[in-house]
């Protein structure tokens, strides 16, 4: 199971365009574990506003700064385009 810090880093890196393999290498998880965590976030975003889910993921991991904000914006945009 991923820690809050790992989930926050996954959100940040995915929003910046990193591949699942690259993210896994940086957070110490397998590619499939990273994909699973992203799938969980996607399911949560379907039940709650996307902004709340990703803000919670990032803030839960105490990741702050411009990069995490950009990651949230990028992921929200991707999810909204898929709806």
1-35: pLDDT as tens digits: 888 889 888 988 888 899 999 999 999 999 999 99
d(CA 34, CA 27): 9
- 31-80 pLDDT, tens digit per residue, is 999 999 998 888 887 776 656 666 666 655 544 455 556 666 666 666 66
In the chain, the number of structural domains is 1
Contact 29, 21 (CB under 8 A): no
Q: What is the pLDDT of residue 27?
A: 95
- Domain boundaries, position 47: 4-82
What gap in Å lies between CA 20 and CA 47, rounded to an integer?
24
Class of residue 14 by CB neighbours under 10 A (exposed 0-12, middle 13-18, buried 19+): buried
**For position 52, what pLDDT does the model report?**
66
Q: Is 65 left (phi over 0), alpha (psi -120 to 50) or beta?
A: left
Contact 73, 13 (CB under 8 A): no
């Amino acid at each position: 199971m991923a820690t809050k810090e790992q989930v926050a880093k996954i959100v940040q890196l995915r929003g910046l365009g990193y591949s699942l393999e690259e993210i896994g290498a940086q957070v110490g998880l397998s590619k499939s574990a990273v994909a699973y965590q992203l799938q969980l976030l996607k399911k949560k975003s379907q039940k709650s506003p996307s902004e709340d889910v990703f803000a919670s993921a990032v803030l839960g991991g105490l990741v702050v700064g411009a990069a995490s904000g950009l990651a949230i914006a990028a992921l929200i945009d991707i999810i909204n385009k898929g709806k």
